[in-house]
Amino acid sequence: MTNVVVIGAGLGGLPAVHELRSLLPKSDRLILISDHSHFTFIPGLIRVTLGMASLESIQIDLEPHLKRLGIEWINHKVTALNPHTQTITVEEGETVNYDYVAIATGASFAFDAIPGLGPHGGYTQSVCTPDHAIHAREAWVKYLENPGPLVVGAAPGAGCFGPAYEFLLMADSELRRRGLRDRVTLTYVTPEPYIGHLGVSDVKNAKEYTSELLKERGIETFTNAEITAITPDKITLKTGQQLPFSYSMILPSFRGAKFLQQLPDVANAKGFIPVNPTYRHRDFPSIYALGVAVALDQPDKTPIPIGLPKSGAMTEAMAVAVAHNIAVASGAVSAPFQRPTLESVCLAEYGETGIVYVAIPVLPDPSLEEPQNSYALKGRWVVWGKELLEYYFMVKMRWGLGMPWFERLGLRILFQVNIAKPYTYTSLTTTS
């Protein structure tokens, strides 16, 4: 019997454990560890914050869900991992042994990097977690009673900019719907080198479509901007300029989970895990990583440092590849290892319209001579597409599916995106 553990029950962890359940024999022990009692579709939290959806509509109660699928569940936070003894320690001291572990812990948030940043002890809002969204929703309701300057953006080092653009433009649309837009100034402040960069350079039409949309909506923008301090009503930039606000949503930079930050032989200084092309740890063959937990360097040397986006589409592709590779390494599946391509589709809802950003790939591999084809498309259909995607994703999570063949086929037909490809480097087949 093989013991396989997945740490994290988010956009990477839950698809990974679903995929593993379909690949591993029933005699293998499959365990999911998470300190959250519910799965949450994180991209839906913007709509929750703005009062356009309920939190319950984008959540799944994990206990009955996992029990139905025959997956063990440990509802505690991981406090330690020992790669030498292959053990995981959770709160209250319980120890779990593993033959393979997939780390899908998502991010911890560097709110402490800027004085006054964040919803807990700071003065800005966030849409990164359900708790953040609830807090931001309460502040939004109060803000609507007496609206004033609205500032949205991202902190230096941030890598995920899509939610900031979505929040900004969906808030603009909501204020217009309520007849309040003429009482509000909207400002976008970002470390990106230009509007529409979103952490990935050279995406055809992305700069033009995104910047034109912000101009049409009368939104002032600050690029190459470094936020240094935040008070209850002002954001200060490194240039000394101050931006007044009545409501502000600023995305933080990310770090890895706390227990990973304490494991220098497993993760880097920020708590991100170095992996080989199959997303197996470079030094510990029993450890795999996916999603935000993976160490991916930003190739662009921008004036203000930014991270590389690890989108939901990328995370799910990593989850599928990691599950496959664990099944191959354990002997449950006879097939070549797979490498995630990091080809990504991001559907961004911008009020009455939207933009789909397609990056093929997000992070080119210089050792592989592969065609690159990154582009953006704009239209009302993107909003409908995102709504359909959210509905479909929640349905397949409730059914316990990973990424079915027809979904992979659809991505290839619609966007020319392949989520994973065979990887047959011989040294990988000799370690397990």
Q: Among 20-24, 105-109, 365-369, name the one with the lowest average pLDDT.
A: 365-369
pLDDT at residue 73, as a whole number: 97
pLDDT at residue 430, as a whole number: 37
Structure confidence by residue, pLDDT tens digits, 253-266: 999 999 999 999 99
3-state secondary structure labels for all residues of 33-49 = ECCCCEEECHHHHHHHH
Q: What angle do CA 69, 408, 274 make, to 5 degrees?
A: 75
Structure confidence by residue, pLDDT tens digits, 253-312: 999 999 999 999 999 999 999 999 999 999 999 999 999 999 999 998 999 999 999 999
Q: Which string of DSSP letters, residue by residue, matches 159-210?
A: ---HHHHHHHHHHHHHHHHTT-GGG--EEEE-SSSSTT-TT-S--BTHHHHH
Q: Which candidate, 186, 125, 183, places its Cα nearest to that of 155?
A: 125
Q: Is the pLDDT of residue 337 over 70?
A: yes
Read off the tokens for 213: 């949309």
| pTM higher than 0.85 | yes
List all residues 6 or more positions away from 245 whose beta carbon is below 8 Å from its beta carbon: 148, 149, 150, 151, 187, 233, 234, 235
pLDDT at residue 56, as a whole number: 96
Q: Which fold has domain 130-251?
A: FAD/NAD(P)-binding domain (3.50.50)
Is 128 marked active-site?
no
Rg over CA atoms, the chain: 21
Of 42, 110, 160, 171, the active-site residue reads: 160
Of 45, 101, 321, 346, the active-site residue reads: 346
Q: Which candidate, 350, 385, 36, places its Cα nearest to that of 167?
A: 350
